[in-house]
Amino acid sequence: MQSVIRTVDILRAIGNAGEALTLSELAERTGLPRSTVHRIVQTLQSVHFVAKGARVGGLRLGPEFDRLAASSRHALIPTMRPFLENLAQETSEGASLTVLEGLNVRFLDQAIVGQGLRAITLVGSTFPAHCTANGKILLAALPRAVVRRMLPKQLETRTSRTITDPECLMDELDRITTEGVAYDREEHHVGISAIAAFVVDDANNYAAISVAMPTAHFENREEFLTKIVRRTANHASLALGWKGSNGT
């Protein structure tokens, strides 16, 4: 059991770092002896769960880990599909399911209702996390120290409303954690706004559900949309085995 826990600690340290880590850095972050880290890493490399990173001596998650993670993400789709369809129906907007990949979000599924003007994103597309509602809600679910290590000194500008200062983004993530929802008010694309909340399963794995729309559809509907997105996220999480914040 101790060996399994140590292995998981090492994989989590690599996955949360946002960059390749050396054996010494892994030992420091996990509190394990360097010799123990080296032994476990060798085993993980032999089964392709850890691979060499771009920097000299650096280590990253390997292709087998990525394959299993992808399988797990796609397994979300059948369970989440009814919730996306209901969300799209209630809001009359496009509803999406996304996951975090580094500093980007990837769209796994989307439900569209009606033929009117909609904000539609191709499934499989990736957007920057820092300027999207679904990206910010998922960043807010990470430890702040992990987010700080991931962020560059200057974030990419998409519109005049994009948050480009990492410290301002950290303040925004604190607000999101308190409120439980994230907004994109034309931060990624002029004329498009969105709202998102995260869904979590019984193993504390996170994804996000969101609705995006022309800003004209968003204005004067924030309270209405927030209520529906929050409720849908809560019901979806319960369907994934989440026991609630109080374990009940």
* DSSP sequence for 104-126: EEEEEEEE--SSSS-----TT-E
Give the pLDDT of the chain (248 residues) as one tens digit per residue: 788 888 888 888 887 776 788 999 999 889 999 999 999 999 998 988 888 887 888 898 888 776 666 666 667 888 899 999 999 999 999 999 999 888 899 889 999 876 544 556 667 788 999 999 999 999 999 888 888 888 888 999 999 999 999 999 999 999 999 999 999 999 999 999 999 999 998 877 899 999 999 999 898 899 999 999 999 999 999 988 887 654 33
Same domain, 77 and 44: no
Whole-prediction pTM: 0.73
Q: Number of structural domains, the chain? A: 2
CATH number at residue 15: 1.10.10.10
Same domain, 54 and 73: no
Can you read off the two tokens belonging to residue 153?
């000194």
Same domain, 227 and 106: yes
In angstroms, the CA 87 to CA 231 distance is: 10
Same domain, 111 and 229: yes
Same domain, 50 and 112: no
Any idea what DSSP says for residue 208?
Answer: E
CATH number at residue 130: 3.30.450.40
| Cα–Cα distance list, 99 to 59, 83, 141, 232 (Å) | 23, 16, 12, 17
Same domain, 8 and 47: yes
Same domain, 117 and 19: no
Domain boundary, last residue among 30, 61, 92: 61
Range of the domain at 24: 2-61
